[in-house]
Every structure is written in structure tokens, then in C-alpha cells.
């Protein structure tokens, strides 16, 4: 495992990328409406990232991914491909995942959106998933183990009768989109080879994917990207990029409405 610790200057550059990524999620919010296609959301985000932010949408052509953002609706866990055939409808849950490259550094974040009026059970899944992320963020500091992060996420999800996706995880990030370490969202996935004690300067994402039903996933073999719940139940995800500081954590992709936003 090759985990790179960033200098204060490098983290400052990542802070810029992170704030741009967060800004995209804020910008796109009013466009999430019934009748809008996920292709249109991708088009708006792409134009904003390239023309307004003078940045690069990292997903576009990354390992062949064809779009600039991921749009995952309802039972889609992650890596949903925007399409003009996917029209949002009243009651849908939508996750938009944005990664921006600015001056060579990545900022990666995602959040859930309600399309119109959403049923209470769907809102509860989104809320608990966000709580899983926030509880994990509160643990991050020098000396914390990666397995501690996975343990607290899984404990909270399972206490609420949900399951944790195991095949997909958070990751180190910096000049690379996906760097070491892998950040698993369940504690029992760790062992002596892949667990890690956090140190100042480490940068990574935490991005729990929580299912209303079973944990099992299914990859769409036709497009090679879209991952759904095998039982077709709802899934939710929230993600932030963060840096370990001398005495805690800085969330580099925090939005103004969040408790750890630093302005």
C-alpha cells in the first residue's frame, strides 16, 4: 500500500478542487425536477465545470466512462450513466457524484436529492446514510484506524436495519483520482494487510453506500458501469473528500449547510 501524505501547499490546492466540486452540487440542485433527464443534468454540470470553473470533469473518459458525472437513481447504487432516456419522475431518489480536477488535483463528492415529493421510507434511508458519513468523519484524526471508520458506518446502518455495500469503497485521492488506501465501509473487511493508522496529511474519501434491502449488488454487463441492488430495493450514498489534520479532519468538499463547513 502506497499512501502519500500531502504537504500543506498540496492540501491547499486540493481545497480549491474540493470547493469547486461542492459548488457543482449546489449549482445543479434547482435543476433536479420531475421531467428532467439525467443527460440534461450531465450537460449542465459539464458546461459549468469546463466554462465557469475552468476545470476538468474527472469521470469523463476515465477508464472509458462516457459522461462527466454519475447519476444513480433509486436502486442504482453507484456509477449510473446519464442518459436522455432516463427521465426523473416524482418520488425518485437521485445521487449525483461529481469529481473535479483543478490544477492537477482532484475533489470528489456526492449527495442525495429528492425528486419532488419522496416517501418517508426513502427519506429515512437518505438520512441514515448521511448520518453514517458524518459519524465516520467525526472519528477521523491522527491515530484513528481505517477499520474504526468502517465499523462505525456498519454499526449505524445495521442498527437501522439497512445493509452496507461491500464491493465498492472510498479511496485515497490527490493528483490521482483513485489512490491508496481503500476505505471500506464495514470493519470486518479489514485485516493486518489493509488496515491503516491515519496520519496528518493523508487525503481520502468516505462514501458509504447503504441499501434498504440486502447488501448484494449487480453490475450491468451491457454498459460495464451501472451497479444496482440485486433485490432492486433502494440505495443511498453520500461522499466527501477530506484531509487528516494535526488534531482532526478538514472536509475539503463541505457545503455551506453542513456542520463542518469552514467557509
pLDDT digits (tens, 9 = 90+) for 14-47: 999 999 999 999 999 999 999 999 999 999 999 9
Check pLDDT > 80 for residue 263: no
Q: Scanning the structure block, which residue is given the C-alpha cell 449510473?
A: 80
Contacts of 120 (CB under 8 A, 6+ apart): none
Residues 85-93: what's their mean pLDDT? Answer: 99
Cα angle 131, 135, 136; round to 5? 120
Q: What is the pLDDT of residue 214?
A: 99
Query: Which residue segments constitute the domains of the chain, with CATH numbers given?
Result: 8-251 (3.90.230.10)
pTM score, whole prediction = 0.97
* Alpha carbons 11 and 13: distance in angstroms, whole number: 5
Residues 111-134: tens digit of each pLDDT: 999 999 999 999 999 999 999 999
- What share of the chain in percent tops pLDDT 90? 98
Residues 158-166: what's their mean pLDDT? Answer: 99
The grid coordinates listed for 232 are 432492486
> From edge to edge, which strands make up the β-sheet containing 209-211?
163-164, 209-211, 235-237
What is the average pLDDT score of the chain? 98
Quick one: how far is CA 80 from the chain centroid?
A: 13
Q: What is the pLDDT of residue 1?
A: 87
Residues 242-257: tens digit of each pLDDT: 999 999 999 999 999 9
- Name the nearest CA neighbour of 185 among 161, 210, 160: 210
Residue 202 per-residue DSSP state: B
In this structure, is the dihedral angle defined by the CA atoms of residues 113, 185, 19 and 102, taken in order, positive or negative? Answer: negative
Specify the 3-state DSSP secondary structure of 257. Answer: coil
Question: Residue 167's pLDDT band (boundaries 50, 70, 90)?
Answer: very high
Amino acid at each position: 500500500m502506497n499512501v502519500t501524505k500531502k504537504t500543506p501547499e498540496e492540501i491547499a490546492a486540493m481545497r480549491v478542487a474540493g470547493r469547486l466540486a461542492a459548488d457543482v452540487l449546489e449549482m445543479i440542485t434547482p435543476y433536479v425536477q420531475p421531467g428532467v433527464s439525467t443527460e440534461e443534468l450531465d450537460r449542465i454540470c459539464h458546461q459549468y465545470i469546463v466554462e465557469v470553473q475552468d476545470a476538468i470533469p474527472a469521470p469523463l473518459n476515465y477508464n472509458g466512462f462516457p459522461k462527466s458525472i454519475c447519476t444513480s437513481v433509486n436502486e442504482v447504487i453507484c456509477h449510473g450513466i446519464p442518459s436522455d432516456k432516463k427521465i426523473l419522475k416524482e418520488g425518485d431518489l437521485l445521487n449525483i457524484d461529481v469529481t473535479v480536477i483543478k490544477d492537477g488535483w482532484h475533489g470528489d463528492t456526492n449527495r442525495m436529492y429528492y425528486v419532488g415529493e419522496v416517501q418517508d421510507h426513502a427519506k429515512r434511508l437518505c438520512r441514515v446514510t448521511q448520518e453514517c458519513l458524518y459519524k465516520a468523519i467525526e472519528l477521523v484524526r491522527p491515530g484513528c484506524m481505517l477499520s474504526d471508520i468502517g465499523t462505525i458506518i456498519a454499526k449505524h446502518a445495521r442498527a437501522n436495519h439497512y445493509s452496507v455495500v461491500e464491493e465498492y469503497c472510498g479511496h485515497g485521492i490527490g493528483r490521482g483520482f483513485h489512490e491508496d488506501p481503500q476505505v471500506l465501509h464495514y470493519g470486518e473487511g479489514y485485516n493486518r494487510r489493509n488496515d491503516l493508522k491515519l496520519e496528518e496529511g493523508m487525503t481520502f474519501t468516505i462514501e458509504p453506500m447503504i441499501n434498504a434491502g440486502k447488501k448484494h449488488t449487480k453490475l450491468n454487463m451491457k454498459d460495464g458501469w451501472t451497479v444496482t441492488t440485486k433485490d432492486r430495493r433502494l440505495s443511498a450514498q453520500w461522499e466527501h473528500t477530506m484531509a487528516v489534520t494535526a488534531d482532526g479532519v478538514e472536509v475539503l468538499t463541505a457545503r455551506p449547510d453542513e456542520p463542518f463547513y469552514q467557509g
